[in-house]
Amino acid sequence: MSASPIQTDPLSSAERDAVYKCIFNRRDVRGQFLPDPIPDEVLGRILRASHHAPSVGFMQPWDFIVVRDPAVKRRVWESFQTANREAAERFDDQRRPIYRTLKLEGILEAPIGICITCDRKRSGPVVIGRTHQGEMDLYSAVCAVQNLWLAARAENIGVGWVSILRHRDLRAALDIPSSIWPIAYLCVGYVSHFFARPELETAGWLPRVPLREVLWFDQWHNRSGSETLLDHLD
């Protein structure tokens, strides 16, 4: 008798609907973090879900750094502050004042940060599936980010991805060696509420793109032949 069965059960329609609820209600959280600690068993589940992301050639190239030390968080936050001031200058006169009003991170408020990295040499020089697309290891680590994000949402825990950071500053704050690629710094914690829509959509920064405008059939920019699918997009 094997410890694991060969096959797995199908998901029920109720389980399917739960997955969609999680996907559609996931938000990038910046300002609604509560200080409540995340129990170890909950954090353990979220990390396990992230670790079960797909990875090219089963490479599992990720590491996780859980940040709880306020001094470390402050270093990351200071790096964000520097980068964010520079970022504001890059927007035009019309966008810049709006940009400056946006809250774009919750580094200090979130009870923990989680940095996900990619070790590009994890499983040796030749990796199945990476021979012709060298970036696949980085993409695997991004899949781990998205798994973590959805698992957290399933636990009613918010996640915000802070990308207004220089990699070299993040490496310095967390003592990450130069051989390791930072992928994401995530703010993680319980929240007062989840918004129904992305904040940048609500703020009028950009609209949701209609799905039918980015959907093609058989060839780039070909729309013919699949009108019935287009009826099921909204």
**Minimum CB distance to a copy of itself smaller for 107 or for 136:** 136
Nearest distance in Å: CB 2, a copy of itself: 9
Q: Are 191 and 162 in contact (CB under 8 A)?
A: no
Q: Are 157 and 191 in contact (CB under 8 A)?
A: yes
Nearest distance in Å: CB 56, a copy of itself: 6
CA distances from 232 to 202, 220, 225 (A): 25, 20, 14
Question: Taking Cα atoms as reference points, which of 194, 217, 207, 173 lies closest to residue 77?
Answer: 173
Cα–Cα distance between 130 and 70 in angstroms, integer?
A: 38
Cα–Cα distance between 25 and 5 in angstroms, integer?
A: 32
Nearest distance in Å: CB 38, a copy of itself: 10
Nearest distance in Å: CB 77, a copy of itself: 14
Burial environment of residue 189 by CB neighbours within 10 A (0 to 12, 13 to 18, 19 or more): buried
Nearest distance in Å: CB 60, a copy of itself: 5
Q: Are 209 and 173 in contact (CB under 8 A)?
A: no
Nearest distance in Å: CB 196, a copy of itself: 5
Q: Are 121 and 61 in contact (CB under 8 A)?
A: no
Which residues, in sequence order, are bridge partners of residue 219?
Answer: 217
Q: Distance between alpha carbon 28 and the CA centroid of its chain, in Å?
A: 8
Nearest distance in Å: CB 41, a copy of itself: 5
**Minimum CB distance to a copy of itself smaller for 35 or for 218:** 218
Q: Are 26 and 149 in contact (CB under 8 A)?
A: yes
